[in-house]
Structure 1
Amino acid sequence: MPSATSEAANDPEKPWYAAYPEANSRPTPISCSEVLDLLKKANDGTRLVLVDLRRTDYEGGTINGSINLPAQSLYPTIPSLYSILHAAGVRDVVWYCGSSRGRGNRAAAWFADYLKSKSDQRMQSLVLEGGIKKWVGEKGEYLHYMQDYDESKW
């Protein structure tokens, strides 16, 4: 008998995230300027990981050093991802998508739930306010922290 999760995943009328539990945590926001400050300090031992959750809209560039983990495949990989990040001593995980209103918030909340289940108070799950669109919109110094930036895509 198929599980509710697999049924939701195969129902074209339901959004992709309906296949997974709703998060209990509220994502903690972090501003573009705070992330920029963390990136500037990255060489001083700051343990930061940026996660770009975009899949089909992944164009125009990404923030330097980001890993791309499309939101649609994230939930089942959270335990493995946590193990890797924990072993590496990561302190801050910053999630973002285009605007960070859907995928970014959802991923940050799921990961925060997982941190709570592990009683991990050392690592933080944060969502980039306004997502990559706000980051690019800030222009100037922010664009110096972009990889594969293509102005024509914005």
Structure 2
Amino acid sequence: MTSTDSAAKPAPWHAAYPAPRNPIPATIRREDVFFMMKDGTSTAGKKYLLVDLRRNDHEGGTIRGSINLPAQSLYPTIPLLYTLFKEAGLKKVIWYCSSSKGRGNRAAGWFADYIADQGDTEMESLALLEGISGWANAGGEYVELMEEYDEKAWVKT
């Protein structure tokens, strides 16, 4: 056995926190988010909030109106975020990462757990299906709703 074989891989960042009670949280389709963005009555920051969870892979742009909150810093801040979001009157918090299969689902699950623990039946925590990759590759009308869009970051090689 070599020294590299005996070296244990470090635990992933999220191992320090409990798993969400529901490993498959509620989701929202990009078409539904697109409609909310185009609908004048559901403006970002009033009825919903988009949260981009990327940190090291935060490139190629983000969905207009999103805030960037790297997933690695999320769990300890959930109580404060909930208070801020509740006081702002948010009804939907939409989490996404590159594909929303890891960080997006985990964040949506953790936040949904906290919402449920508060007995809140008005706020929803949702993962954006297919994440920012699905959004950026869905066509021009979606790209138009991105900030700092960089086509080179989304070209498949």
Runs of 4+ in 1 over 3 A off after TM superposition: none
Relative to structure 1, is the Cα distance of residues 70 and 48 closer, same or farther in structure 2, using a 3 angstrom cutoff? Answer: same
Q: Contact 2:20–2:110 (CA<8 Å) still a contact in 1?
A: yes
Between the aligned partners of 2:42 and 2:89, the Cα distance in structure 1 is 10
Q: Counterpart of 1:19?
A: 16
Q: Counterpart of 2:72?
A: 72
Q: Counterpart of 1:85?
A: 85
TM-score, length of structure 2 as denominator length: 0.88
Q: Counterpart of 2:132?
A: 132
Between the aligned partners of 1:58 and 1:139, the Cα distance in structure 2 is 20
Q: Which runs of 5+ in 2 are unaligned?
A: 1-7
Q: Contact 2:42–2:48 (CA<8 Å) still a contact in 1?
A: no
TM-score, length of structure 1 as denominator length: 0.89
> Of Structure 1 and Structure 2, which has the larger fraction of its residues in helix?
1
Relative to structure 1, is the Cα distance of residues 45 and 135 closer, same or farther in structure 2, using a 3 angstrom cutoff? Answer: closer
What is the correspondence of 1:1-154 to structure 2 with a 5 Å cutoff? Answer: 13-25=10-22, 26-41=24-39, 43-45=40-42, 47-154=47-154
Q: Which runs of 5+ in 1 are unaligned?
A: 1-10
Relative to structure 1, is the Cα distance of residues 40 and 79 closer, same or farther in structure 2, using a 3 angstrom cutoff? Answer: same
Residues 74-118 of structure 1, C-alpha deviations (whole Å, 9 max, x = no match): 000000000000000000100000000000000000000000000
Identical-residue share of aligned pairs (%) = 53
Q: CA RMSD in A?
A: 1.2
Letter in 1 for 2:27: P
Structure number, greater radius of gyration: 2
Relative to structure 1, is the Cα distance of residues 39 and 54 closer, same or farther in structure 2, using a 3 angstrom cutoff? Answer: same
Q: Contact 2:60–2:149 (CA<8 Å) still a contact in 1?
A: yes
Between the aligned partners of 1:123 and 1:40, the Cα distance in structure 2 is 21
Corresponding residue pairs, total: 143
